[in-house]
Amino acid sequence: MAAAASPGSGSSPGFGLSASSDWIVVRDGCLRCDEEGLRSLSYHPALNAILAVTSRGSIKVIDGTSGATLQASALHAKPGGRVRCQYFPAVDKVLFVDDYAVGCRKDLNGILLLDTALQPPVAKPEDMVQLELPVTEAQQMLSACQEKIDVSNTEGYELFINQLKEGLKNTSHETAANHKVAKWATVTLHLPHHVLKLVVGAIVTELKKINQNVAALS
């Protein structure tokens, strides 16, 4: 909303406008964020994006120009936790908090990796962890595994590669949308910590042998 005084309105010292001034309220624009309500809003100027915490505890990233929803994420938060987020311009980072964990994120090539923002620390090798990758990096990873190296004998590789393929398939509708939405699309793998370490370690070792680099492993 925007408010303005009508032309010719007088003003009195010590007060902005006289008591007789007429105010006209005009709608400047409206963004529909979430039908079930919001808890808070935070603006990220570097990304020109609004971070909207919904009443359900998820976060929506809304484009500041078009109002399009670029991403929606539950942040890996535990059920019942009160999610909050705030952008801190002094360090150009976003702080995420719920009742169980604290996370901090700087943008990665113009996007925020939100699905893992509140992922708790690993306590034991069998713990399930999430690895979140931008779609472009996931595509590079898949291409490297299929065309440049062979680590198929590594424990957990089949699970890793199948999740990578499935994740890319599931994001195909997002990457077909407008370019801003496509940029924010990510692939998230869910694997035991020790399996992820084994597979990624094997991939890195083989890529080093052929002097190749994959952004997702940098």
Give me the pLDDT at residue 48, please: 95
Nearest to 42, CA basis, from 75, 86, 1, 82: 86
Give me the pLDDT at residue 168, please: 94
Please give the DSSP secondary-structure letter assigned to residue 197. H
Give me the pLDDT at residue 196, please: 96
d(CA 65, CA 20): 37
Give me the pLDDT at residue 163, please: 97
Q: Residue 112 — φ and ψ, nearest 5°?
A: -110, 130
What's the average pLDDT block by block, 10 residues per block, for the chain (218 residues)? Answer: 47 49 65 75 94 89 90 80 91 93 94 93 94 94 94 96 95 77 93 96 93 75
Label the pairing between strands 23-26 and 2-5. Answer: antiparallel
Q: Which residues of 180-203 are buried (b: 16+ CB within 10 A; e: fewer)?
A: bbebbbbbbbebbebbbebbbebb
Give me the pLDDT at residue 34, please: 66
If residue 204 lies in a helix (H) or strand (E), which one and from where to where?
helix 193-209
Block residue for tokens 């890996």: 76
What CATH code would you report for 32-117? 2.40.10.360
Q: Where are the domains of the chain?
A: 1-30, 32-117, 121-218
Question: Positive or negative, the Cα torsion across 169, 77, 117, 84?
Answer: positive
Please give the DSSP secondary-structure letter assigned to residue 121. P
Nearest to 163, CA basis, from 126, 200, 127: 200
Q: What string of DSSP letters covers 182-193?
A: HHT-EEEEEEEH
d(CA 30, CA 1): 8
d(CA 176, CA 208): 33
Give me the pLDDT at residue 74, please: 82
pTM: 0.77
